[in-house]
Chains A and B, each alone.
Chain A
Amino acid sequence: MVLPAYIDETTGEITDGEAWVALASTTLSSDTALITFTSPNDGSSKDWSQFMDLVIVWYARGPGSGTQLTYMTMTLNNDTSAGAYPNQFQRGNNNGVSTSSDHAPGPAYQLLAMIPENGHAAGIFAGGVCHIFDINSGKYKSMMAMTAADVNSGGTGESRIDFTMWRNTAAVSEIDIKQLFGSNLETGSRWDLFGVLPRMVS
């Protein structure tokens, strides 16, 4: 077992080193329907139970032959119950700026992003960052996702920010990412997961 980075291998003392820990990275070599990250739950340097926050940095392209944007969603701990993910978003596109919320009770997934369908020119992907806060607390978990989805055609692109709360107090131990209706995410799409440590030494 690899010791967490904040434990000195020689002395066993807790130290404060790099606060961001690279946990996992997935780049699709073929079209894939489901991306899953799980905590190893083994007390190692990558065990999610030691982190304050998680951050996902991603670059993705969706299915379909159209030239619209499609839904990339995320669920935590396999929770797909109705109303589990109330949200508020704001976006800007060729129709101006709009905002909306869905919190009564909310969807059964987090909208992680809108990503280009596969009918767009090759090489057009959306990119973004998602922060998941205080993942081991007894709070409902908060998520903030920022997306850049510029498609260079037809005015269908957008930039957006989505704020979502997981209506559950459990520690986060699994993340599942997929297209809303289960279609494949496209080859070349990529997700990098980081754990963010708190201050370890007072």
Chain B
Amino acid sequence: MAVIEAIATQYLEADAASVTFSSIPSTYEHLQVRGSHRSTGSSGGQAFYIELNNDSGSNYASHTMVAANSNNIGQTTSAQAYIKIYDGIHGSLALGAEYATILMDVNDYLDTNKNTTVQFQMFDAITYSNDVRATFGTGMWNSTAAVTQIKFTPSNGNLTRGSEYTLYGLKSS
């Protein structure tokens, strides 16, 4: 029995407004998303949204620690319609071959006694000095429902062709 399995991979062959993993199986203990992405929006850095179970209510919060050139930044959001990550992805102003990165863990995603908390590391626009960001953060969904769907959306423009996300399931035995 595999301990880490690839549940699904989405590799965009054309620009797309968002990427959604739906009908996530309930056969794992934890989830991880590994991704490489970019937006078509005319920006260096721009916000990135994570929505769970198609819940667009004001039910999300986030905290981030951000390295931005020589600046340390702490940010928080609450009562959002998604987990909002400021400058979590970059747009068309960064070099064309440069894609941002996300590594996100969703631990204990089936437990219906806890609100779901996610943890992520991501960085973008390394060569675009105005908006280079390296982010370590967390997001909370104010719901105890088991996670069955994860949706990624850039705040401006589409996800660019070549963006890629793979959802992994982790088992403890």
A residues touching B (Cβ–Cβ < 8 Å)?
16-20, 52-53, 86-90, 97-101, 103-104, 106, 131, 133-134, 137-140, 142, 144, 146, 161, 163-165, 167, 169, 196-200
Contacts and interface: CB of A to CB of B under 8 A. Distances in A.
A100 B95 CA distance: 20
A142 B70 contact: no
Given A18-B3, A88-B67, A99-B69, A137 B121 contact: no
Nearest to B102: A133
Contacts of B123: 88, 142, 144, 163
Contact of B36 (A99, A139, A163): A139
Interface stretch (B55-63, B105-113, B127-135): B127-135
A199 B134 contact: no
Nearest to B10: A199
19 contacts: A17-B5, A19-B5, A19-B168, A20-B3, A88-B67, A88-B123, A89-B67, A89-B134, A98-B70, A99-B69, A106-B127, A138-B97, A139-B99, A161-B134, A163-B126, A164-B126, A169-B97, A196-B166, A199-B9
A17 B126 contact: no
Given A19-B5, A165-B98, A103 B34 contact: no
Interface of B: 2-9, 11, 34-36, 65, 67-72, 95, 97-101, 103, 121, 123, 126-127, 129, 132-134, 136, 162, 164, 166-168
B156 to A, nearest CB: 20
A23 to B, nearest CB: 15
Nearest to B166: A198
A165 B98 CA distance: 8
A17 B6 CA distance: 8
A99 B6 contact: no
Given A52-B166, A90-B72, A133-B101, A144 B121 contact: yes
A100 B129 CA distance: 11
A165 B132 CA distance: 12
A16 B5 CA distance: 7
B67 A90 contact: yes
Contacts of B70: 98-101
A105 to B, nearest CB: 8
B117 to A, nearest CB: 19
Contacts of A134: 36, 99, 164
Contacts of B69: 88, 99-101
A167 to B, nearest CB: 8
A137 to B, nearest CB: 7
Nearest to A142: B101
Given A88-B126, A138-B162, A140-B99, A16 B67 contact: no
A137 B166 contact: no
Contacts of B71: 99
